[in-house]
Amino acid sequence: MPAMTRFDEKVAAASARPVRTCLVTGAEGNPEQMLRFVVGPEGEVVPDLARRLPGRGMWLTAERAAVEQAVARRLFSKAARAPVTAPADLADRVERLLRDRVLEDLGRARRAGRAVTGFVRVEQMIGQGRAGLLIVPEEADGDGLAKLQASGLPVERLADAAALGGVFGREQAVYVAVARDDRSGRFIERIAGGAARWRRYRLDGAG
C-alpha cells in the first residue's frame, strides 16, 4: 500500500473531526464553534456551553437568531422526541452565559497577576512590552480608546464598564490589559476567542 501523502493525511484528519448539525439551518459545524443544549431533569432545555452535561446533545449555530428560531419553532421538542420546555428568554440566557464565561477567564487572569485595569496601569503594561490583549467595554469611545488602538495591540470589546469593573472589584472599568501568555498561564486565546464569540452571537454573525 502506498504511503499517505501530506494531503491525504490532512483529508483523513479533517474527516476524523466530529461535526454536529444545527437544528435550525441543517448546517454542519465543529462542536467547539456551536452551542450545545440538553434536556434537564425538569424537562427544561439547558444550555451546555462547556459541552459536559449528560444527555443527548442538541446543537445550534452560535447565533442569537438560531436560538430564537429553535424556541419559536419548538425544534428542541422535535430533536428530543419528547415534550420539553424551552424558556422564552433562552436566547438572553445564552448571551449572558457566553459573556460570563469570558469574564470568569478574565477574573482568573487578574488573580494570576496577568490582567490590570486603569489607563495608567494599562499604559505601563504596554510600555513594558508585557501587554498582549486590550479589552474595553462596548460603549468605549474617545481619545483613550484611540491611544490604545494606536498601540497596534488587538482590542476586544466585551460587556459594559460595570461588568468589567466587577472583575476588578470596582464600580467600572474602561481600559483593561492582559499580559502576553507565557508559562505562568495562557489566557489571551480564551479571552479573545470568548469575547469574539459573544459579540458574534449578539450580532448574529454580522460583526
Residues counted in the chain = 207
Look-up of cell digits 467547539: 32
Please tell me what DSSP assigns to residue 140.
-
Residue 112 has pLDDT above 90, yes or no: yes
At residue 23, φ and ψ (nearest 5 deg) are: -65, -30
Question: Are residues 187 and 108 both part of a single domain?
Answer: yes
Looking at the domain assignment, is residue 101 inside a domain?
A: yes
Question: Are residues 81 and 102 both part of a single domain?
Answer: no
Looking at the domain assignment, is residue 52 inside a domain?
A: yes
Residue 85 has pLDDT above 50, yes or no: yes
Question: Are residues 11 and 111 both part of a single domain?
Answer: no
Question: Are residues 153 and 114 both part of a single domain?
Answer: yes
Last residue of one domain, picked from the residues 55, 88, 121 = 88
Output the pLDDT for position 10. 46
Rounded Cα gap, residues 191 and 94, in angstroms:
17
CATH number at residue 60: 3.30.1230.10
Output the pLDDT for position 16. 57
List pLDDT tens digits, range 172-200: 999 999 999 887 668 999 999 999 999 99
DSSP secondary structure, 60-114, as one string: EESSHHHHHHHHHTTHHHHHHTS--B--TTHHHHHHHHHHHHHHHHHHHHHHTT-
Question: Are residues 138 and 196 both part of a single domain?
Answer: yes
CATH number at residue 99: 3.30.1330.30
List pLDDT tens digits, range 18-77: 899 999 999 999 998 999 999 999 999 999 999 999 999 999 999 999 999 999 999 999
pTM for the complete prediction? Answer: 0.86
Output the pLDDT for position 64. 96
What range defines the domain where residue 34 resides? 6-88
